[in-house]
A and B are shown apart, each in its own frame.
Chain A
Amino acid sequence: MTTPADDQQAPTSGPVRVFLVDDHALFRAGVKAELAGLGDARISVVGEAGSVGEAVVRINTDQPDVVLLDVHMPDGGGRAVLDQIHPALPNVVFLALSVSDAAEDVIHVIRAGARGYVTKTISGPELADAIVRVAGGDAVFSPRLAGFVLDAFSDRPGAAPATDPELDLLSPREREVLRLLARGYAYKEIASQLFISIKTVETHVSSVLRKTQMSNRYELSRWATDRRLI
């Protein structure tokens, strides 16, 4: 299931080293216990941090493979951690984990460099899968994130014309994949529904992620900039 990552220098041997960042100690403990309880050999939690400053220092020293990042924290939230670490350590992959389903929050962390977004109500095995998936260089889209991205890339009558079709438009296939994601389909189910391989589904999703991060579409940049709370 893990795909060989060509752009990623993640250590392929051994489990994925996971780091937790959340200001709620209770939640960190819960996630840790849940991941440990799975007995999943693919994952090991190597550290945790309860604040932005602590996270920046520890991640720099520990250099984990995947950081589970809470979006809402004091001192700038997950965004601040991403901004401080992502440019310096591009090999550390971020998976945003939040209770907030507000479109702006989701789009914001994605555009700051997170490779996926899942809500905190996600089940343990699903979270483990998501961690392994982002560690392998793929993107993880929750149904809601897929919905937001579809909405942001939808063709509205009043929308400004795309300045860069390469980035500002989704291909029909990508749209289909997103729609199935929003309908609650797993990658495997999408693959069988569209008669394509899982690898192709992953490629499409990664491409959508890239467009979401790079595009200058009005809706995306508005979500990214016009934020009152970070």
Chain B
Amino acid sequence: MPAAPTPTTLPHWPAPDAASAAGGAAPVVSPAAKAPEGMTPAATAAAGMTPAETAAPQAPPPATAPGRTDVSLPKRPLVTPDGIPKMVRPVEGRMLGGVAVGVAQHLKLSTVWVRAVFAILGVFAGAGVVAYALLWIFVPQGADDGQRTRPTTRLERRQAIGIAALGLALAILGGGLGLGRWVGWILGPLGLAVIGGAFIWREADEGRRARWRRTAAGLVAPARGAWWRMVGGASLVVTGLIIFAVGQLDFTAIRSALLAVILTLVGVGIITVPWWVRLVRDLGEERRGRIQEKERAEIAAHLHDSVLQTLALIQRQSADPREVQRLARSQERELRSWLYGPAGYTTAVGAPGTVDTGTLSAALAQAAGDVEDTYAIKVTTVMVGDVVMDPEVAALVAAAREAMVNAAKHSGAAEISLFAEVDGKDVEVFVRDRGVGFDPAEVGTDRRGLAESVHGRMTRHGGRATVTSRPGEGTEVVLSVSVRSGRDQTGPVSLTKQQSTENQSTAGTTEQKAARDNSGR
């Protein structure tokens, strides 16, 4: 279908599409300018303007046409909750902006009658014209599906021009009789401003997010059409209110002029309230949507890189339970730290970037993870308080690691408990297993690991190491060291520092302090 009609429709395109392009942009102001003429602008625009405008926008229509056909088709059934088709300005059968046709379709009336009403209203100080202009601005254009099944017929065109001419004649007649003066002020600019406002408010109520969003986006990076629409609408309202003010007040008085300006601004403000509300809401919604989208992508990427890969590995290694356990454990640890850890996924906003690897808890967690991975043993890590790393703490972590390795190698237990507590200046680490145990008095020289690495390390840094073990009752290694004075002034950094920004700043200052100490050394 799209291939065949294209060559045939192309010659037809320029004229109607130029009209639609013009309807979107340039002639918005024209009804206001030609206000006293009643319906005539419609006629002139349709008859006279189209050929003139044809020259310039001839190029774009064929380019945009195929794209639009595809996009606009699903949007067609715009229906109100009551089942009435939503008011749009159809492209087909229109003379100027398609307003009359749209109103007729919406109210299920004959287009001729609607046009006549506009013309008659135009007599009353241009009320019909302003109403037409407002509707033109605020009623969205109907879906242009590209297949102009019924172009504007000759009869319709003639009819419309006739009605316009009749309206113009009536206006002139009414002007001559002075008829317009008194009705004019009732149905005149002020009345129209009210009607226009009512229309805008009503239309704004309906769920037409897409359109508003388009307009909202246009405010940030405005398309030419959007600007024209806005400027046109605003100038219409301003003009209407100024005419009203001038008619009511003494123009020579500056006060009156000021009042008129204020009145105008108030009017513009009131009329555009729903638009602004919608604008703000939609921008917020759009931003939220973008964030959600980004988040989803991030989660998907992470799960793919970690969990799915591990599951694939586990399937391949399913014959080796030890390897499967190791993989599952290390994956669990990784996912857990991603979800709940510092700078993890569920931590407070803005947390990323504050990954502090320079703390006892992080170092111990890493050591425990390494031992888990290397020896396929479970390490339950519990930490109370935290400190920043310094040589003493580093020695403590190394000793704790050695103790864990020792337990993993020799105890035969399936689980190691690791508990670290920071209490003021003292840091204590307990490594415990429920394995075979041994008699410390009988440790041979071949088991240098515990004695050398643990004891030696700790005493070199002014700490202590105690090994408690009895055959059959497991082993516990207690390591303790005092952190340097001056560190404790910041106090132990909370275990849950990532949960509140206030604590984060504490962590930050601790780190800064550490940095300062390091540079001072």
Contacts and interface: CB of A to CB of B under 8 A. Distances in A.
A121 to B, nearest CB: 8
Contacts of A58: none
B501 to A, nearest CB: 11
A31 interface: no
Interface in A93-126: 100-104, 121
User: Which of A146, A147, A156 has the largest count of B CB atoms less than 10 A from its CB?
Assistant: A147
A151 B384 contact: yes
Contacts of A103: 495-496, 499
B47 interface: no
A168 to B, nearest CB: 17
A104 B499 contact: yes
User: Which of B336, B417, B476, B495 has the largest count of A CB atoms less than 10 A from its CB?
Assistant: B495
Interface in B333-354: 336, 339-340, 346
Nearest to B341: A102
A156 B432 contact: no
A45 interface: no
B53 interface: no
Interface string A139-159: 000011011101100101110
Interface string A43-55: 0000000000000
Interface stretch (A34-42, A127-135, A221-229): A221-229
Interface in B420-448: 421, 423, 430, 432, 434
- Of the four ranges (under 10, 10 to 19, 20 to 34, 35 or more), the interface on chain B belongs to 20 to 34
A197 to B, nearest CB: 20
B352 to A, nearest CB: 16
Interface residues of A, number: 28
Interface in B376-434: 378, 380, 382-385, 415, 417, 419, 421, 423, 430, 432, 434
Given A143-B380, A143-B382, A157 B491 contact: yes
A87 interface: no
A90 B492 CA distance: 39
A209 to B, nearest CB: 17
A144 B380 contact: yes
B346 A184 contact: no
30 contacts: A101-B336, A102-B340, A103-B495, A103-B499, A104-B496, A143-B419, A144-B382, A146-B382, A147-B383, A147-B495, A151-B384, A151-B494, A151-B495, A151-B496, A154-B384, A154-B492, A156-B492, A157-B491, A158-B491, A179-B421, A183-B382, A183-B419, A183-B432, A183-B476, A184-B417, A184-B419, A184-B432, A185-B432, A222-B500, A226-B500
Interface of B: 336, 339-340, 346, 378, 380, 382-385, 415, 417, 419, 421, 423, 430, 432, 434, 476, 491-492, 494-496, 499-500
